[in-house]
Chains A and B, each alone.
Chain A
Amino acid sequence: EPEVTQTPSHQVTQMGQEVILRCVPISNHLYFYWYRQILGQKVEFLVSFYNNEISEKSEIFDDQFSVERPDGSNFTLKIRSTKLEDSAMYFCASTPRTGGSGELFFGEGSRLTVL
């Protein structure tokens, strides 16, 4: 069964360092997302991406964050200068439906620990 894959599964970094989280969405999906979940808290929307551009973004997704689809398969989230409060599980998700409606399929997540 097709699945969303994410790497790395866990990354530890020092505050102020740049981090890139990688995702390979399901191949025929059209909309891509990043969500984050701070330990014990809600899953929070960060950004949606369609047709090689950002479709929506939340207040969390400030200038420190960027997303890119550098080729036909990878979808990346970059955090330019990490802060302690960026420590969370980051989930990539995708959906096949036009208009972005429909269920999201999530990867297993990348746990980011900022020291």
Chain B
Amino acid sequence: EDQVTQSPEALRLQEGESSSLNCSYTVSGLRGLFWYRQDPGKGPEFLFTLYSAGEEKEKERLKATLTKKESFLHITAPKPEDSATYLCAVQGNFNKFYFGSGTKLNVKP
């Protein structure tokens, strides 16, 4: 069964304290792994797509990487405005996406 697990569930960082979020997955025929940011009461906002192991994408303080079994979202020198829930999703053989439970990031000034 296709499955996505994210860790940790919650992460508290001081401003400037770099860290990584993990997304491990099992899926039949990975068509893509996606990272989203979700603010409270809002829809998920697209961040990155990764298609194959070894691929990396960067955007400002965020960098996403992909292996055959997991993906990491690295946050370098985070700021309070990076506080949000970060969601990982995978698309397998069929036309649906499976989401993880998310990591709730809180960056304190």
Contact = CB atoms under 8 A, between A and B. Distances in A.
Interface in B9-40: 31-32, 34, 36
B31 A91 contact: no
Interface in B59-109: 87, 89, 91, 94-102
Given A101-B31, A102-B32, A107 B43 contact: yes
Main secondary structure of the interface of A (DSSP, over half): strand
Given A101-B31, A101-B32, A106 B43 contact: yes
Contact of B96 (A58, A91, A109, A111): A58
Assign chain B's interface to a size class. Answer: 20 to 34
A50 to B, nearest CB: 7
B32 A42 contact: no
B101 A42 contact: yes
Contact of B94 (A31, A35, A56, A107): A56
Given A42-B100, A43-B44, A109-B42, A103 B95 contact: no
